Amino acid sequence: EAGVAQSPRYKIIEKRQSVAFWCNPISGHATLYWYQQILGQGPKLLIQFQNNGVVDDSQLPKDRFSAERLKGVDSTLKIQPAKLEDSAVYLCASSYLAGATADTQYFGPGTRLTVL
């Protein structure tokens, strides 16, 4: 079974530039998550989609971050404009279902973003 795919794997940009990350979840997984993991910290949920609807975006800095999952499969996360503190690994995860019953989240390899 193919895992969660992400691209690019690495990105270096200057502050105030824009950047976009792409995620393809495991086939058949309805729920997709974007996490930000800053060095030395655990992953922090930015946004959660179920199919193409947003379930939780309470920790997404909406003034500069946006995400979409238009067809309920692939997703993109965009940062515009980037700040130095956005340097982190951006992890995409997917799970088969979401809801009251816990469902295993599978993570992609992540995109390592460096903002100079």
Partner 1 sequence: RKEVEQDPGPFNVPEGATVAFNCTYSNSASQSFFWYRQDCRKEPKLLMSVYSSGNEDGRFTAQLNRASQYISLLIRDSKLSDSATYLCGILTGGGNKLTFGTGTQLKVEL
Residues lying near partner 1 in the complex (CB under 8 A) are found at: 31, 40-45, 48, 55-56, 91, 95, 97-100, 102-110, 112
Extract the tokens encoding 95. Answer: 């799970």
Name which of 6 and 82 has its Cβ closer to partner 1: 6
User: At its nearest, how many Å lie between partner 1 and the CB of residue 11?
Assistant: 15
Cα distances (Å, whole numbers) of residue 70 to 6, 54, 93: 17, 11, 17
Structural contact between residues 75 and 52, judged by C-beta atoms closer than 8 angstroms? no
Smallest separation (angstroms) from partner 1 to the CB of 110: 6
25/108 with CB nearer partner 1: 108
d(CA 86, CA 20): 13
